Amino acid sequence: MLTRLRGGLLAAMLLLPLTTGCAVPAVYDVADAGGVALLDDRVLRPDDGPRGIPMGGLSEIAADGDGGYVLISDDRGEYGPPRLLTMAIDFDLERRRFRIGARDWLPLVTGAVDGMTPPVTIDGEALRIVPGSGDRLWSSEGRIWDGVPAALYLSDADGTLLRQMVLPDYFRPDKPRGWSGRGMRPNKAFEAIDVTKDGRQAVAMPEDVLMQEMTDENGRTGIPVRVMRFDLDSGRPIGAHVYRLDPFPDPGADGAPGGINANGAVSMLLLDDGRYLVLERAFLKAYGVRIRLYLADPAGADDVLAIDNLKNRRYRAASKRLIGDLIGAGLRADNWEGMAFGPDLPDGRKTLVLVSDDNFNRLFQSTIIAWIALPPLD
């Protein structure tokens, strides 16, 4: 079956078997691959997990600064305690292949400094290692509908909680439990985070628009997501701007349901010049899965930290451009949620290592690690 994407391009929607990805339609366009190249990938099955804990639920991957990688699991305790997975990946830059080596589970939280209380429920979603200190910046989506708030934490390298980032009130629900009219949406909290190269600041964006800031017009002009900047020493916010998500399904597509946005910002990576990469993962079971990589530039964006509600306000958002449709570039159609930089290729191209999250759900194909090369980002 065919569906028409924005700009009149046609994209194939294929029902893919479990051996090649998730069993939902894939929405993509090969013409939008943009020079992105799939180099290699590996599928990890549940029994590939160490210590008898199944592999799965890996929602982000982070470079550890020593040539290895650390991943965070979003398991809320069904298969084991909240945890991280260390993973060695050996890259063959000439043959453009990789091998997954030693891996082990680590506890996400081992304790807390005075004045800090570990959250009752942890749903680990995002992770970055702070340069220099080895501290871990990570997020939990909590259980917003049950009164456990989503939050952004800083822990030391041993898992001791050091502090929680201070969120402005507009991120907080207006009800202690149940469906709220304000704040982050359930299961739509901070999934995209990163740390500046000097280790002094953190940047974080929720997966989707805040409850009070969604309008029908956003579905046509782009979904506004706040990109927050925090001082890591104090945990306090020091700035914010808006990044606009592409709506999904495309409002102009034949048969697309109205009033729905099933797209989200699931990972981000800062570049040295202030720009950043954003992985947008769109998924609606009846409509399909779409995976796109964008390059955003906040240089011309307005600071919106002090604006309590973006609805009906005028502001300039970060500019963005499509780097590549990743399924169109050969990536398996699946629930891709995390990315980290890999080694540069001999020809100078940057690479990314990506991870898919199976959510311990047979709809998805276990865990996939993929290695892709990027076109020039100039």
Is pLDDT of 229 > 70? Answer: yes
Token reading at 253 = 């597509």
Task: Tell me the average pLDDT across 43-59.
Answer: 93
pTM: 0.92
Q: What is the pLDDT of residues 177-199, one digit of tens each?
A: 767 788 998 889 999 999 999 99
Q: Please tell me the least confidently modeled range out of 137-151, 171-185, 251-265.
A: 251-265
Position 256 confidence tier, pLDDT thresholds 50, 70, 90: low
Q: Which fold has domain 2-373?
A: Tachylectin-2; Chain A (2.115.10)
In this predicted model, which residue has the larger pLDDT, 197 or 255?
197
pLDDT confidence of residue 2: 25
In sequence order, what are the residues at sequence separation of 6 or more whose Cβ sits closer than 8 angstroms to the Cβ of residue 11? 2, 3, 4, 5, 27, 28, 29
Percent residues over pLDDT 70 in the chain: 90
SS3 32: helix
Q: Where are the alpha helices (DSSP H) in the chain?
A: 218-221
Task: Tell me the average pLDDT across 356-374.
Answer: 84
Position 17 confidence tier, pLDDT thresholds 50, 70, 90: very low
Residue spans of the domains in the chain: they are 2-373
